[in-house]
Each structure stands twice: as structure tokens, then as C-alpha cells.
Structure 1
Amino acid sequence: MLEEKDDNLQPEADGSEKNSETPQIDNQESVTTEETVSEGEVTADAEGENNDDPQNEIDESNAEDAEDEGHKERHEIPMLDYHAMNMDTLVEELNILITKEKIQAIKSHVDQIKSEFDLKFQELLEQKKEDFIQEGGNEIDFNYSSPVKKRFNELYNEYRDKRNQYYKNLEHRLDLNLKNRLDIIEELKGLINVEENINDTYKHFKELQERWRNAGPIPRVNYNDVWRTYHHHVEIFYDFLDLNRDLRDLDFKHNLEEKEKIIAQAESLAEMGDVNKAFRELQLLHKIWKEDLGPVDREHRDAIWDRFSAATKAIHQKRQEYFKNQDVIHEANLLVKQDIIKKIEAITQQKVNNHSSWQKLIKEVEALREEFFNAGRVPYKVNEQTWAAFKEAVRKFNRNKNSFYKGLKKDQQDNLDKKMELVKLAESLKDSDEWEKTTPIMKKIQSDWKNIGHVPRKYSDKIWNEFKSACNHYFDRLHAKKNEHFKDEMEAFEQKKAYLDNLKEFQLSGDKEKDLEQVKAIIADWKAIGRIPHSKKSIEGKFNKILDALFKKLDLDKQKAELIKYGNKLDQLANADNDTLINNERVFIRRKIDEVKSEIRQLENNLQFFNADESNPIVKEVMNNIDKHHEDLNLWKAKLKKLKNINQ
């Protein structure tokens, strides 16, 4: 009996999607809303019930409430838009319902949550399975578990356990309440034949009515028969009270006043903006009308029922219009969702072949998915069809995406192999002391690394850290070596600075040969001090100025003096351990030789234009320039010869 409860019509208090017509009700469950058929308050047609009559839906709901102690609370739980929620939010909402609401009041909510969760999880599962197969997995080996699915199953099992326990306990209570009500009916029957004062009998009748009101819920399958039987014997008792009209008329008057209040409330409900709330409150008024109040006198009986029935139909009609409007809204939602599906299909047709473009499309499709879920419900008849079209559109996009990234993974694997080779090379060179040979190689492999491209993410950090560690190890050693040399060079600079200060006091003896040897010794001492930092090279110019002054005093041949000084410069180049500097010097000297030769040729050509002998001042000047350039040419050639010697 209790298990059938889940499949029967629930009052649509939440305003959820439904057909515009009231669902068909089983004739066996039908019941009138007044005390007895004889009172003329039957709302169903004599030959069968009208399935568009609001009374049928109200009767069915109230019959269901007959065995549900928490029916009032059930109607107060709002039905949220579960379709628009993601799986995590659905799990959270399920937990809230199980924790805070009566277990018998949340079935329709839990059913909708489960339906939406299953749809979304199935979509995720299909996508994960497709990804697994795309990556080379065997379909038979596919297995996917999710924390959110595990949590949902735990909560849903908790809901079922609580619900089963509730109805197991409820069945026992319902049976006791049914037995109690049947006992009350038997006592009511006995009032007709009891020989006692009518006032005492009437008092006993009122006590039985009070006990009836408080007797509690009974099984739904017994509800109509039990109430019909009870009202039948209540009517018989009132006929019995015909012997004492005063008591009966007082009851009729009380019932009439109370029913007029109910009618006024029902008529005011027609003005309420929330049609679903109005319908829920109308159900309660019908329940009070039927269960808490007795009959009225025959004079007012038809008229008062007609008023109540008219108010009921007005609310029902307004509710029907609401659902018709909902159908319009659902049709509009359908158009929105169909447009979203077309947009996803259009995105799927786009041809992109790089990671950044695919990431952009992935974000666009994700936004459209979110928009789809937030678009609202569609007509029930096309709901599955729309959902299937949406899933297929997303699945096609994902297939194209997976195909691209499958190819990308192959490229990334090739990149991984290349970078692993660079890691091995960096590891093999990190402890090398061949600085001149190794440093350019280390710089090149760093440049090569940047140009190779992406590798699979799971290896990216690992190989980068290995490569960076090897490179850092080498360059840290190189910098330490350079810092050590820099310290030595600064010490050499300080020595040369002091030596230069002392040299300012040096005086020639007047013996040219002896003084020349002394100057050569000064140059040798200066060379012996060693290399200085490049930023301090200006001190070499100061030293050369002193040498120029000394050579001038010695009246030394210019070329000889220049070659002595040039020997000092060559020593500096040789000690620099930098072939580039020597090569640059060689290029510079050869260019100077070419320039001087060009000048000599130009001057010799110019002489041919002069029609004069060598005594002519202009001719003499040109001849002197030619001689001077020959001296310079000889000097540059001598320097080039010395430069060649340092490489031998």
C-alpha cells in the first residue's frame, strides 16, 4: 500500500512543467467534497468524472495527504531550477533537503535532482570514455570514478533508507488510526438506538466528532470509503436530531457561518499573484470544508456550494492560464537552446590548428554549455530530443578537439625527445673547465631549448628543472671563476696605479743606450704586473703618454719607439685569452695598411699632373707626404709581423 504512494499524482505546488490539462484520475479514488451525495454537492458528472474539473485534482491530493502527516510542510518547499545546476550544486541541494526537510515531503525534489544529476554525469562519463579510447585505451578496460558521484550515491542511499524507514513506521500508525476511525463510526451508529437524554446523546456526538478530527491520517486506499461512511452516519444522526431541531439548527448555523468564511477566503485567493500558492491554500480550504465542518440546512446547501465551486473554478482557470503561459515560455526556451546547439555546431566546423585557437574555442563552447543549462525548461515532449541534440553537438566538438590534441601529443613527444637530449648534453658539460670551448655550447643549447616548443605537461616541470639545474651549475662555476679573475685584475690595477705614481719621478741618466734599456725594463715591469679590468683600461693610455715623453727625450726613432710600445699592447692582447680581440686587431692593421697604400697611390697619381721639377715647393710637399706615408706603411707592416708572431 505504501509503496504505491510514489507513483501517484503529487500536487504541483512547485509550478513545474506539466500539461495544460489536469491529469486523469482513477474513478475508484474519486470522492465528493461534501458530506453525502444526497446533499447535491457532487462535482463530477453522473456518468463519469470530468478530467478538467479542479475538484478531481484537489480530491486526489487531499486523499494522498490523508496518509501523510507532513503534507503541509511538503507544499512549502520551493522547487528550484535543478536543470541549471552543475553536479556539485545538485549534490549540495540534495544534502540540504535530506538534512533540513521532512523525508516524506521531498520525493519530487529528489527525483528531479537525481534525473538532472544522472543526465549530467552520463554526459561526463561518455566524454571520459571517448577521451580514453582516443588516447589508445581499450573500451573494455575503461573505468571512471568521481568524488562527486560517490557523494551523490551516499546521499541518495541515505535518502532511500530514511524514506523506507519512515513509511515502515507510518504503515503501523496508519493501520491503528484506521482502526480508531472505524471504532468511532461504530460508536456513531450506536447513538441512534441509545436510550438516554437527547442532550447527553448530542454531547456524546460532539465528543465523537472531536475524536474523529484528532484521529490522525489513514491509508489513502481507505480514505474515501471511510469518509463516505462517516458522513453517511453523521447525516443519519442529524435526521435523528430532527426530534430536537434546536440542537441541529445550531450546528447548521455554525457550519454555514464557517463555510461562508471559507468561501470568502477562496474568493480572495483568486486575486493572489502566486497561482500555485493560491491553489495550495485552496486545497487546504477544501480539506477543512470536508473534514472539519458538517452539513448546512437544505435551504442554503446548493447555493453555498455553488459559490465555493465558482471560487474554486476561478482559481483553477487562472492556474490553467498560468500553465499555458509556461508552455509559451518553454517554447521560447526551446528556440534559445536550439540556437545554442547551432552555435556549437558552427564552432565545430571551424578549422583551427594551434593550441591558442583551440583554447579560445573550448572557452566559447563551455560558455554555451553554461548558457544552455541556464536557458530554462523546454516542452516535455521534446526534452529528450533537445538534450540528445545538445550532447551530440558537444560530443562532435570534443572529438575534433581530441583529434587535434592527439596529433599535438605526438609533436610534444618529439619535442620531449629533443629536450631530453639537451638535458643529457647539459649534464655532461656542467663540470667542464674548458671555459672557452664549453661556454658557447651551453649558450647555444639554451637557445635551442627555447625554440623546440611544448612537451607533455606531466614531464614539463621535471625536465625543465633538470636542464636549468645543469645550466645553472655550469654558469655559477663560470661566474665564480670570473669573480676570482676580477679580484686578481683589481689587485693588478692597484699595483699599476702605484707603479705609475712612482714612474712620474723617473729621470733619464743621459746615456741613451743605458736609458733605452731602462725604459725597456720599465715596460717589462709594467707587463709583469698582469691584466687589469677592462673598465680600468684608461691607465694604459696614461702609461703610454709617459713612454712617449721618454722616447722623445731619448730622440728615439719613431718606428722603433712605436714598436716597443706596440709590443706592450700585444702582450695585453695575448694575456686576454680572447681570440676575438687578436682577430679584430689583425683586421684593423690590414685595413690601415690598405688605407696607407691607397693614399700613396693617390699622391703618386697627383704628381703626374704637375708640370714642374722636384724643386717646386708643391712637388716637394707631395714628395714629403709620400715619404711619410711610406714610413707609416712600414710601421703598420712591422706591427702586423709582430702580431703574427704571437700566434706562432
Structure 2
Amino acid sequence: MTKKDEPTDEQLPTQATLENQNSESVEIHTPVEEVPAEEPEAELPKEEFAEPEVTEPEAAETGVEEEQESVAELLETEPVETDANEPEEDQPEEAQPEEEQPVLIEPEVAEPEKEEPEMTEPEVAETEREEPEMTEPEAAGPELEISSERVSNEIPPIHVDYSGYTRQALIDALGLLLSQRTIQEISRDVENIRSTFYRRLNQESDEKLKKFLSEGGAEEEFKPAPDPLEDEFKILYEQFRVRRSEFSKVLEEEKDINLRKKLHIIDQIKHLLNTQESLNRTFNEFRELQHQWREIGPVPQTELHSLWENYHHHVELFYDYIKINKELRDLDLKKNLEQKIQICESAEELLLEPSVIKAFGELQKMHSQWREIGPVPIEKKDEIWERFREATNQVNKKHQDYYLNLKDEQKKNLDAKNHLCDQIDEILKKEVTNPKDWNDLSQEVVNLQRMWRSIGFAPRRDNNKIYDRFRAGCDEFFNRKREYFSRHRDDQHENLQLKTDLCVQAESLMNSTEWRKTADELVIIQKKWKEVGPIPRKYSDALWNRFRAACDAFFKRKSEFFSSQDTEQVENLKKKQELIEKVRNFSLTDDHSHDLGILKDIQKEFTSIGHVPLDKKDEVQRDFREGLHKLFNQLEVDEPQKEIIRYKQKVDNFVQSPKNRNRISSEREKLVNKLKQMESDIVLWENNIGFFAKSQKSESLIREVESKILQAKEKVQLLKDKIDMLDRFES
């Protein structure tokens, strides 16, 4: 909806919809709800606003046309064709079925439900009650500044473009309007000033926030200072609201007075029916009464229908009674025709009017004028009526299309705003545990607020609801953020103490020579350091450098120490390679027990040699193990003993590798569990043997179970030997 098409106080229709009027009447359908000035979220017309086809009512049976035939050309008087449902300018709604008679309520400027929000961090940047964001001119001309002299000495213009005014100039302009203009003249300007003022205020607040952030301030700490200009503006705007309320009250009182005046005119028309004066004088008095009727303003809504029917009933009786002179009547009809032709031309020009709202309001005024003019020559009645109805239908069609398009646009806006609310809800579901994530999400929320301001209004019935949902989501997010940073400051000081303690621990270990133990302890301390949260920024770098220096000092000494061990490891590698060659070249004798003893001695010697270079460790272990296994397989050694020898080699590998030393205890626990399970199975099998009946079939089962028990007992002994071996290594 463009700004120029927004309904204003001056553009709003101020009388009831017309329907089924006399021979020159036409229906006008308008939105039922009032449209506040400069509020584009005005509710769309109800679904029933689709305008039914405008038809000219049939002539009432007054008997005048029959009389025209009897008196020939002398009394060709055209009666005022009326209809029981014919409304005047303020036809009440209850006079007709709802689908045929939408009624305009005389508008009042809508009071804003809420104060204009300030664009602070936890607030939604701009509410639906403000004007869409506009680009501020590069420089407002000096003529826009309104001086105090101008307020007191000049009559201000109305319908001014206030987009370039400063806030002080807007306040001056508002004061000038209140002091020099009537309330009905300035409603539109006041609302324009109000929306422009708060847009300026929000822009200045945003600039102050940006400046505050650029100077190193935190967004959550920004608090806008009180604004004396806003207080001054609110005082003036309250004066406007009070005056507007008083004006509405006076208007209702005037309607009551107008009702009494019109009832008096009806009484005077009744009196004319019994007068003995000449026809010319009586007719002139009647015309004067009609003129007075038209000059009287609107009446209360509840009295419209009955008043209109009463008036036209007596007008019809008057025409029937006095039988106006034909020449005088023809002259009157001719003048009426000329006036209605002029109205038709004006109605057709409305099709070129760019503002649909303005064209619709002007059309209502034309229908009011049309009703007051009176009948035209009967041969022109249908022609002039069809011309006016066609123009009316086209203006009505544009008006309906406009509101239908507006309704679709507002529905799309509602969908877009619901999507933004869903995004806010998704942000609220996130678990945020560090300041960086909070700041990133804050920027996301601010971006969503900017997108919100760029979207137009939603339908009136949903507008406040969706705004409240979005604002509640933003408020909830920023409240959580403030609470987090409040707790975060306390946590940072606690973390400072924890990291200081870790520094002391690292410094106490930096000169240790227990390389493996100390290295493991420092690794644990480093993990704890990472687990501790952030500390105040002013201590962060210094404390980190202190901690890193202690850790680096130890690991540097450790690295230097082990670099000196390289020569020894190379020597150990040579020794182990010699033993591998010795195993490969070993020739078995007939005395297998002697050979087994030699191989065990070689294995013991291999185990006693220290570490070798890390890149050769696996290769050496593999070659030695393969050589031994090959010889053991050639020896006549029972399988359990081979298993013990192989297992000893495996345990030796555990001992040689510092990383695998901890596996000895886990290996022992696994063997103990197997041992317990095996012993339990043996007891179960032995018990089951007693349940077998003595038969040929049961004897085979018993032998099978006994064989299984024997094998299990051998495994039990092997497990016990392995456990004993692990116990010796641990001791």
C-alpha cells in the first residue's frame, strides 16, 4: 500500500452507504470498519462487501402517472420515486440486510494502543503503528525550521510533507497547527507529524547506539538518555487527543439539533398540504424547505432510516396534492438534469484519480448531491441514471480490487512475520554457553528486527498479536543475554582463581625429572585448564603466558633429556637384532629340554635390553616373536607350555611399551573373569552328570561331558599360570 493511497480523515467517507434509492439513486459499498488516519493496517472490507448489481428501483405506485394521462400535457408531473429501503446521507445499518447494506461508521482518529517504542536492544526496533522506514534527506533545508514567531503569527498550511523536518521543527509545527487550525483540519497532519517524529527518534537512538559501540561499549550496557523533546511532543499530542474527543462530543450534540430541525421541516411540509395560498408561493416555500433540509448537517445514525422515509413520504404527498404547474415543473426538471449531467462528468473524471481512497470518498459526496437534486424529465431518467451507475460501478470496482489486493499483501506480510517469529523461537531454543555465541545470536536478532521493519502491515485482527509475539521473543532473548553476562562476570572471577591455582601446580612440576609421571600430570592440568571457562580479559594474556611458560619449561627439559637417549637406543637395537639372528640361526638338538632352556634364556635376555628407537620397535618385536614361535613349533613341547611361552612374550611387549603398561591390570581382570566362568561351568557339568540315566545313550553323553570337563580343567590351569605371570610382572 503506497503512502498516497492511505486513508486519511479528509479522505474518509462520513455518511452511510446508499442503496436502492429513488429514480436517480445508486448503491455505494464501503468497508464497514473505520480507517484511522495514516494507519495502513485498516481492516479490509468484510467478505460481504462485493457490490451487488446496481439496479434502478421500480416506480412507487403513487397514481401520478395515471393522472398524467388524464390531464394530458397540463400536469405531466413526474413523482419522486421512492423505495421503502431508500436511505438518506446517513442511512442506518439495520434498515437493510447486512449483505446488501454495508455501513460506514463516521470515523474517529484511532488512539494508538501503545506508546511509540524506543529502539533499544531488547525492544522490537519499530512497531506496526509507525510509518515504514524512509530515507532521510541529505540535508533538511533551513526553511523547515519553525520559529516561535511563526507559531504565534502565521496560519500554518495543512497536508505538508514533514519527511524533511527535524524533531524540534515537528514539535513547532504541531504547536502551530493546534493553535491556528481546527481539529478536523489537522487530524491527518498530526498523525503524519507523530509518525515522522518517532521515526526520527528511532534513527537518532540507532546512531547513538552505533557511536556507543564504536567507542568500545557493550551493546547490553547501552541505555538511551531521557529525551526532553519526546516529553514535549507527548504533551502537545495529548492536547490534540483531548480536543479531538471534545470535537466528537460536540458533533453528536449537533446531530441531535439537526434531527430536531429536520423533524420541524417535515411538520412544515405537512402544513403546506393544507395551505390556501397560490401554487407559486406554495411551491417556493416548498423549495425553500428543501434547501433548508439540504443545508442541515448529519443526524444520529439510529434515526436515519425512519427520518428519510418520513421526509420522502410527505414530499410525495406534496407533489401529488398541489400538482405543480407544468412549465414550472419542466424548468425544474431541466435544471435538475443539467446538475446531474455535471455530476456524471465529475464521476467519470474520478476514474483518472490515482488515489483510490480519494476517488471513493468523492463519489460518496456526489451521491449525496445526486439524492438532493430531485427528478429529471422522464424521457432522460433512465439514460442519466445508467450513465451515473456505470461510472459508480467502475469506481466501486477499483475500490474493491484495491482492498482485495491489500488483503492479499497483508496476508503475505503476516506469513513473513510468522516466519521471523519462528526464527526467534528457534534462537531461544539454543543452549548458549559462551559470550561469542551470545554476541553472534544478538546480531542475528538485530538482523531479524531490521527485516521486520522492512515488511508492511499484517491484517488488523492479527497485527497486534503478531507484533506482541515478535516483541516478546526479542525481549526474552535479550533478558536471557543480560542474565548470562551478569552471571558470566561472577564466573570469570571464579575461573581466574582456578587458573591461577593451575599455574601454581604447573610451576611446582616444571623442574621435575620424573618424566613420564610429570608429563601425565601436566597433561591432566592442561585438560583442566581447557575445561575452565574464560576469565576477565585484562588478566587473560598474562595468566596464559605464565601457564604456558611453566609447561614449556618442563617439556623442553624432557625433550633434551630423551634426545640424549638416542645413542643408547641405537645400541639396544643392535643387541636385539643380534639376538634375532641368533634365534634364526639356532639349531635344535635331540635334547629338547636343553634347547628349551636356551631359548628361554634368549627370551629373558631380549626382555632385559632397554628401549629401541620408536620407529624400529614393532619390527624388532615381530621378528623376534616369529623366530621363537618357529622354534617352539619344532620342539616337542605340549600345547599349554607353548601357550605360556607365547603369552610371556606378549606380556614382555606390554612392559616394553609405556603406553601398554596399564593394560596389565586390565588383562589380569579379564583372565580372572574367564577363570571364574570356567570354574562355574565345570561345577555345572559335574552336577549334570548325576542326572543322566544309565543307558547306552546316556553313557555316550556322560563321556562327552567328562571330556569337556577335562579340557576345561586344563584351561583353568593355563589361566592360573597366566595370572601368576602377570602378578610377578606387577610386583
- Could you say which TM-score interval applies, normalised by the shorter chain? 0.3 to 0.5
Larger Rg: 1
